[in-house]
A and B are shown apart, each in its own frame.
Chain A
Amino acid sequence: MSGSNELSRRDFIKVTTGIVGGLIGVAIGLPTISYLIDPALQEGGKDVWVSIGKFEDMQVGIPYPFSFTRVQVNGWERTSNSFGGYALRKSDDPKDLLILNSRCTHLACTVNWSEEAQGYLCPCHDAKFSIEGEVLDGPPPRPLDVYTDFRLTEDGLIEIFSKAG
C-alpha cells in the first residue's frame, strides 16, 4: 500500500478531484464567458440607403431638415432610434450638397437650426455651430458630422447612406 512510488488513496482522491473539477470548470466556464459577452458581439442592423427628401424641395442656402428612424433588434425587443440632420443645398448641382448630422458632437443632444442665430444651437450646453457645421461656441470638440455618401435617385429623391446601428 505505501510503496514510495505509489499514490496514497488520499492523494489519488486529491489529484482526481483537482482534474475533474478543473475539467468541469473549463467545460462550463468558457461557454459562460461567451454567454455573458454575447450581446457585445452581435452585429447591429444593416447598412441601407435612406431617403431624406426631394432635391427640388431643398432651397439653395437654407438648411432643409430631415429625420428618419431605424429599428434595431436588442435582445427580444426592437428599439427604434431616431436620426436627423439638415441638408444644405448650395447650387443646382445635386452633388453640391452639405448634409449634416444633427447629433451634437459634444454629448449627442440634437441641434436645431435657428434662423435668428443663423446657426445650429444645441439645447444641452449651449453650443453653437455655423451653417457649415463648424463649432462657433460651446464645448463640442469637433464640427458636426457630415453624411458624405449621398445620391440623387431617378425620382428626384436624395438618399443618404446610413451605417448600421
Chain B
Amino acid sequence: MWKKVYEWLDERLGLNDMYTNLLDRPEPTGNWWNTLGSASLFLFVMQGLTGIFLTVYYTPSPDHAYDSVQYIMEGVAFGWLIRGIHHWGATLMVIVVFIHMLRVFFTASFKYPRELTWLIGIGLLLMTLGMGFTGYLLPWNQRAFWATTVGTQIAGSVPFVGEFILKALRGGPDLSALTLQRFFSAHIWMLPAMLAGLIGVHLFLIIKHGESHFPTKED
C-alpha cells in the first residue's frame, strides 16, 4: 500500500533521484571541518523553529516586551528551554558560520568555480550578524537598550550619510517604539527571508559544483 503511494509520488516528483543527488551524493574525503556548513544550516533551522515559538508569547512593544520575556522565562512551561536554545544558538551560529568561512578560506575552496558560493557566503555571514544585532534589542532590558544605542551610534559615525543611517535604523533620532518594531520586523521577516533565499542558492551551487577536494601537497 505505502509502497504504491511512494511509487506514485516518486514517478511524478522523482523522489529517488532527489535523494541520491541531494543526500546520497558522492563527497571527496574530507574531514570534520567540512560539516560546518551543514552545522550552520542546522542552527539556522533551529533558530527559525525556536524563534517562531518565541513569537507565540513575545510582544514587540516597549510596554510589554520586557514583561513578555520575563513571562517566557518564568511563567510558561519550558519557556526557559525555548529561549535558551534561541539565545545560545544565536551565539553559536555566528561562531559556526565564521569558522565555516575560515575553513573555506584555508582550503582555498572559494576559487573557480566557487566564487559565487563564496560571495553569497559573505552575504550569509553579514545577515547572520544582522540577526544577532536586531535580536539583541528585543528583550528591551537595559543591556539591550544601551547596546543598540551604541550600535546604532557607531553606524551613525559614517561620514556624510551617518546621520541618515542612524535615523533609518532607529526609525527616528531616538531609540523608541519604532526602533523596537522595525528591529523585530527585520529579525523575524526580512533577514530570515533573505537568509533562507540565499541559503537556497548557496546549497544549489554546492550541489551543482560538488564539494571541492581537499588541497594536496601539489596544490
Which positions in A face B, CB cutoff 8 Å? Answer: 10, 28, 31-32, 34-36, 38-39, 41, 75-77
22 inter-chain pairs at a CB distance below 8 angstroms, sorted by A residue, are A28-B85, A31-B77, A31-B82, A34-B77, A34-B78, A35-B56, A35-B76, A35-B78, A35-B81, A36-B56, A38-B76, A38-B77, A39-B76, A41-B77, A75-B57, A75-B68, A75-B71, A75-B75, A76-B64, A76-B68, A76-B71, A77-B67
CA distance A31 to B72 in the complex (A): 13
A31 contacts B78, CB within 8 Å? yes
Does B53 reach chain A (CB closer than 8 Å)?
Answer: yes
Q: Does B24 contact A (CB under 8 A)?
A: yes
| A31-B81, A31-B82 given; 12 more Cβ-contact pairs under 8 Å | A28-B81, A28-B85, A32-B78, A34-B78, A35-B56, A35-B76, A35-B77, A36-B53, A38-B78, A41-B77, A76-B70, A77-B67
**Cβ contact within 8 Å between B70 and A35:** no
Q: Which B residues are CB-close (under 8 A) to A77?
A: 67
Instruction: Collect the chain A residues with CB atoms within 8 Å of residue B64's CB.
Output: 76
Residue of A nearest to B56 (CB): A36
C-alpha spacing A31/B49, complex, angstroms: 13
Q: Which residues of B contact A31 (CB under 8 A)?
A: 77-78, 81-82
**A44 shortest CB reach to chain B, Å:** 15
Q: Is the CB of A10 within 8 A of B24?
A: yes
A38 partner residues in chain B, CB cutoff 8 A: 76-79
B interface vs A, CB < 8 Å?
24, 53, 56-57, 64, 67-68, 70-71, 75-79, 81-82, 85
Kindly provide the distance from the CB of A160 to the nearest chain B CB, expressed in whole angstroms.
31
CB distance from A26 to the nearest CB of B (A): 13
A39 to chain B: closest residue by CB: B76
CB neighbours (8 Å) of A28 from chain B are 81, 85
Chain B, residue nearest A34 (CB)? B77
Closest B residue, CB atoms, query A29 = B49
The 10 closest A-B pairs by CB, nearest first: A31-B78, A76-B67, A76-B71, A38-B77, A35-B78, A34-B77, A38-B76, A31-B81, A75-B71, A34-B78
Complex CA distance for A56 and B108, rounded to whole angstroms: 93
- Tell me the smallest distance from the CB of B23 to a CB of chain A, in Å: 9
Which B residues are CB-close (under 8 A) to A36?
Answer: 53, 56
Smallest CB-CB separation from B79: which chain A residue?
A: A35
Q: Which residue of A lies closest to B76 (CB)?
A: A38
Taken together as a complex, chains A and B put the C-alpha atoms of A32 and B64 apart, in Å, by: 23
Q: Are A76 and B79 in contact (CB under 8 A)?
A: no
Give chain B nearest CB distance to A41 CB in angstroms. 8
Most buried by A among B24, B70, B78: B78
Which chain A positions have C-beta within 8 A of B70? 76
Q: How far is the CA of A74 from the CA of B75 in the complex (A)?
A: 10
In this complex, the member of A35, A38, A39, A75 whose beta carbon has the largest number of chain B beta carbons within 10 angstroms is A35
Chain B positions within 8 Å of A41 at CB level: 77
B12 to chain A, nearest CB (A): 25
**Complex: A20 Cα to B123 Cα, angstroms:** 31
